[in-house]
Amino acid sequence: MSCSDLPVDIAAAIADRLTELADLARFRSVCASWRSGSSAHAARRRAPLLLLPTQYHGTVLSRRVWSLADGSLAEVQLPAARGRSFLFASSHSWTLAVSGRDLSATLVHPFTGASLDLPALPFSSHVNHREAVLRELAWDLSPHGVLVSPRKGAFFCRPGDGSWRPVGCSSASISSITYCDGVFYLFDGKTCKATVVDAETLAVAAAIEPPALEMRWPDFKTDLVVSPDELLLVVKSWCWERRHGRFVKAFRADLPPAGGRNPSWSQVGDIGERAVFVDHLRAFCVEANGVNGVRRNCMYLASSTSRMYTVSVLDCSDPAEENLRHENLLNEEGSTLWQYPSWLLPNPSLMTYHVRND
């Protein structure tokens, strides 16, 4: 009898008793039958976690995560991130761990234990600027490698290459980097323009113009959400909220053909059965499937102020804002606020790197 002969209902019952994401990831990787039997349980766990910074640079082996689904606070063991004071999450589950001392970097997958050392980031390591540069870091990864930006310029590294190479981009400021279906989207939050870069050749494939907006930066904050078949541009009032009330606007466009630069944007009041999660790194969508605690047509914004972390919810059809003031999140201490929290989306799959498992 092989593992695939295990009845689906028994596989589902076992999956329902797995409380650790790492255990669920290992269970689902055994075979297609176990993956199918655990799909319902995996859907319930398909809710982002908020990765919290830490002030302990040299000895910490774990990091704290806050669960949107149940408001719990837990620790994830990350021995490969030891000595890396900065940790940046992603919607692919991989995290980028960087040392604030020498800018050495490591890719870490918190739910499988996989890790991969990278060359030191190619930024200025002057002690007076190092933390400020890392605080505003933008990054994402593809099966071909990692792309990072200190807001000005971008650099790419293929695993095993041992060096970073500059990537041509006309944007004066890069506020987020998103990988999707073979290309990177380098988004300039000031101009709301996106540069599309081929993830394999690193050639600029397109320059996407934004819709017409009534305001100018910094009166608003914009985030680009990239999906396989569409783009969303989410606009949140910033300075104007004190004078005219807070609001959110969302614009949708089909992905333009190769080389296209002017997609047809249209404003939408409902983004469907999904929600947008926003932090200082990027924005991404998550399905509101009815079992993962995610509310449809909403934005979840993570931030840190006055020695505490906050998560607020904005309904795209209603300007009212709701703060998710869970006590265990608000009372979380021992973290440095020169780092931001970031959303981590649990995903047991690994991109095709040659990685080690510690």
The whole-number pLDDT of residue 218 equals 60
My answer on whether omega of the bond before 218 falls inside 30° of 0, hence cis, is yes
The whole-number pLDDT of residue 357 equals 47
Percent of the chain with pLDDT over 90: 29
Average pLDDT over residues 189-214: 89
The whole-number pLDDT of residue 217 equals 58
The whole-number pLDDT of residue 128 equals 57
Alpha carbons 135 and 133: distance in angstroms, whole number: 5
The whole-number pLDDT of residue 261 equals 61
Q: Which residues 6+ apart lie within 8 Å of 244 measured at CB?
A: 237
Note the pTM of the prediction, 2 decimals. Answer: 0.84
Instruction: Find, among 126, 222, 129, 234, the residue nearest to 173 by Cα.
Output: 222
Segment (H or E) for 131:
helix 130-135
Alpha carbons 109 and 207: distance in angstroms, whole number: 32
Instruction: Find, among 138, 161, 145, the residue nearest to 88 by Cα.
Output: 138
Segment (H or E) for 62:
strand 62-67
pLDDT at residue 204 greater than cutoff 50: yes
Phi-psi region of 351 (alpha: psi -120 to 50; beta: other; left: phi over 0): beta
Percent of the chain with pLDDT over 70: 74
Q: Is 257 helix (H, G, I), strand (E, B) or coil?
A: coil
Q: Is 116 helix (H, G, I), strand (E, B) or coil?
A: strand
Count other Cβ atoms within 10 Å, centred on residue 46.
18
Average pLDDT, the chain: 80
- The two three-digit tokens of residue 46, written as one number: 């398909």
- Size (the chain), residues: 358
pLDDT category at 125 given cuts 50, 70, 90 is low
pLDDT category at 278 given cuts 50, 70, 90 is very high
The whole-number pLDDT of residue 175 equals 93
The whole-number pLDDT of residue 148 equals 96
CA 92, 148, 181, 293 dihedral sign is: positive
Count H helices, E strands: the chain? 7, 26
